[in-house]
Amino acid sequence: MSDKEIVQRTEQEVSRPEQAGSEVLLRPAVDVYETEEGVIVKADLPGVSKESLNVQVDKEILTIEGTVSLDVPEKMEARYAEVQSSRYRHSFTLSQDLDTSRIEAELKNGVLTLTIPKREEVKPRKITVNAA
Protein backbone atom coordinates (compact mmCIF):
# COMPACT_ATOMS: atom_id res chain seq x y z
CA MET A 1 0.00 0.00 0.00
CA SER A 2 3.01 2.28 -0.17
CA ASP A 3 2.04 3.79 -3.51
CA LYS A 4 -1.53 4.79 -2.64
CA GLU A 5 -3.29 6.67 0.11
CA ILE A 6 -4.98 4.55 2.76
CA VAL A 7 -6.98 7.57 4.00
CA GLN A 8 -7.71 10.74 2.03
CA ARG A 9 -9.27 13.96 3.20
CA THR A 10 -12.53 14.80 1.51
CA GLU A 11 -12.68 18.36 2.78
CA GLN A 12 -10.43 21.31 1.93
CA GLU A 13 -6.96 21.33 3.51
CA VAL A 14 -7.49 24.33 5.80
CA SER A 15 -7.13 24.66 9.54
CA ARG A 16 -9.62 27.48 10.08
CA PRO A 17 -13.35 26.96 10.73
CA GLU A 18 -15.52 26.38 7.70
CA GLN A 19 -19.08 27.29 6.80
CA ALA A 20 -21.79 24.64 6.48
CA GLY A 21 -24.76 26.68 5.39
CA SER A 22 -25.13 29.30 8.12
CA GLU A 23 -23.26 27.24 10.73
CA VAL A 24 -19.53 27.43 11.39
CA LEU A 25 -17.87 24.05 11.95
CA LEU A 26 -14.49 23.40 13.53
CA ARG A 27 -12.19 20.82 11.97
CA PRO A 28 -10.53 18.80 14.75
CA ALA A 29 -6.81 18.11 14.56
CA VAL A 30 -6.38 14.53 13.33
CA ASP A 31 -3.40 12.16 13.14
CA VAL A 32 -3.51 9.01 11.01
CA TYR A 33 -1.09 6.10 11.50
CA GLU A 34 -0.78 2.98 9.37
CA THR A 35 0.30 -0.33 10.91
CA GLU A 36 0.54 -3.84 9.49
CA GLU A 37 -2.87 -4.55 11.02
CA GLY A 38 -4.69 -1.43 9.86
CA VAL A 39 -5.07 2.29 10.42
CA ILE A 40 -5.35 4.28 13.64
CA VAL A 41 -7.08 7.67 13.51
CA LYS A 42 -6.72 10.04 16.48
CA ALA A 43 -8.93 13.14 16.57
CA ASP A 44 -8.70 15.91 19.19
CA LEU A 45 -12.25 16.68 20.36
CA PRO A 46 -11.92 18.66 23.61
CA GLY A 47 -15.21 19.18 25.39
CA VAL A 48 -17.10 16.55 23.35
CA SER A 49 -18.88 13.87 25.38
CA LYS A 50 -19.60 10.33 24.22
CA GLU A 51 -23.30 11.22 23.98
CA SER A 52 -22.68 14.19 21.66
CA LEU A 53 -20.26 12.32 19.39
CA ASN A 54 -21.31 10.84 16.05
CA VAL A 55 -18.93 8.62 14.08
CA GLN A 56 -20.27 6.98 10.95
CA VAL A 57 -19.16 5.29 7.76
CA ASP A 58 -21.20 5.57 4.58
CA LYS A 59 -19.62 3.45 1.85
CA GLU A 60 -15.96 4.60 2.08
CA ILE A 61 -16.63 7.99 3.72
CA LEU A 62 -15.74 8.21 7.43
CA THR A 63 -17.33 11.20 9.18
CA ILE A 64 -16.56 12.39 12.71
CA GLU A 65 -18.96 14.92 14.24
CA GLY A 66 -19.21 16.20 17.78
CA THR A 67 -20.81 18.97 19.78
CA VAL A 68 -19.03 20.73 22.61
CA SER A 69 -21.07 21.31 25.73
CA LEU A 70 -19.88 24.66 27.07
CA ASP A 71 -20.86 25.28 30.66
CA VAL A 72 -21.22 29.05 30.99
CA PRO A 73 -22.31 30.14 34.48
CA GLU A 74 -25.66 31.90 34.74
CA LYS A 75 -25.69 35.66 34.31
CA MET A 76 -22.26 35.54 32.67
CA GLU A 77 -21.42 36.50 29.14
CA ALA A 78 -18.26 35.83 27.15
CA ARG A 79 -16.32 39.04 26.56
CA TYR A 80 -13.70 37.29 24.46
CA ALA A 81 -13.82 33.86 22.85
CA GLU A 82 -11.36 32.39 20.37
CA VAL A 83 -13.66 29.47 19.64
CA GLN A 84 -16.83 30.72 17.97
CA SER A 85 -18.39 27.34 17.23
CA SER A 86 -19.40 24.40 19.37
CA ARG A 87 -19.46 21.79 16.58
CA TYR A 88 -16.65 19.69 15.12
CA ARG A 89 -16.72 17.87 11.79
CA HIS A 90 -14.12 16.03 9.73
CA SER A 91 -14.55 13.57 6.85
CA PHE A 92 -12.20 11.16 5.11
CA THR A 93 -12.35 8.76 2.19
CA LEU A 94 -11.12 5.35 3.33
CA SER A 95 -9.28 2.87 1.16
CA GLN A 96 -11.19 -0.22 0.09
CA ASP A 97 -8.37 -2.21 1.70
CA LEU A 98 -9.88 -1.37 5.11
CA ASP A 99 -12.62 -3.40 6.80
CA THR A 100 -15.07 -0.68 7.83
CA SER A 101 -17.42 -3.23 9.43
CA ARG A 102 -14.87 -3.82 12.23
CA ILE A 103 -14.02 -0.24 13.27
CA GLU A 104 -13.43 0.20 17.00
CA ALA A 105 -13.81 3.60 18.68
CA GLU A 106 -12.68 4.94 22.06
CA LEU A 107 -13.08 8.45 23.50
CA LYS A 108 -10.69 9.25 26.33
CA ASN A 109 -9.64 12.66 27.70
CA GLY A 110 -10.98 14.49 24.65
CA VAL A 111 -9.19 12.26 22.14
CA LEU A 112 -11.16 9.95 19.85
CA THR A 113 -9.17 6.89 18.74
CA LEU A 114 -10.51 4.86 15.83
CA THR A 115 -8.90 1.53 14.98
CA ILE A 116 -9.73 0.44 11.44
CA PRO A 117 -8.39 -3.02 10.54
CA LYS A 118 -7.21 -4.00 7.08
CA ARG A 119 -9.14 -6.70 5.29
CA GLU A 120 -7.49 -10.08 5.83
CA GLU A 121 -6.66 -10.59 2.16
CA VAL A 122 -4.54 -7.40 2.00
CA LYS A 123 -2.52 -8.02 5.18
CA PRO A 124 1.05 -9.20 4.70
CA ARG A 125 1.43 -12.87 5.43
CA LYS A 126 4.31 -15.31 5.65
CA ILE A 127 4.40 -18.16 3.15
CA THR A 128 5.57 -21.48 4.55
CA VAL A 129 8.02 -23.25 2.27
CA ASN A 130 8.10 -27.05 2.46
CA ALA A 131 11.32 -28.92 1.73
CA ALA A 132 11.08 -31.59 -0.94
Architecture of domain 7-11+25-70+83-121: Sandwich (2.60)
Q: What is the pLDDT of residue 90?
A: 94
pTM score of the predicted model? 0.74
pLDDT at 85: 66
Phi-psi region of 79 (alpha: psi -120 to 50; beta: other; left: phi over 0): alpha
Question: According to the model, what pLDDT value does residue 84 have?
Answer: 62
Name the nearest CA neighbour of 41 among 28, 25, 60.
28
Give the DSSP H or E segment for 34: strand 30-34
Q: Residue 117: its pLDDT value, please?
A: 95
pLDDT for 4 = 53
Q: Which residues pair with 93 in a beta bridge?
A: 8, 61
* Residue 44 and residue 26 in contact, taking contact as beta carbons nearer than 8 Å: no
| Residuewise pLDDT in 10s, the chain (132 residues) | 444 566 665 544 434 445 555 567 889 999 999 998 999 999 999 989 999 999 999 988 999 999 987 666 788 777 776 666 688 999 989 999 999 999 999 999 999 999 999 998 877 778 889 988
Strand order, beta sheet including 87-94:
7-9, 87-94, 61-68, 48-58
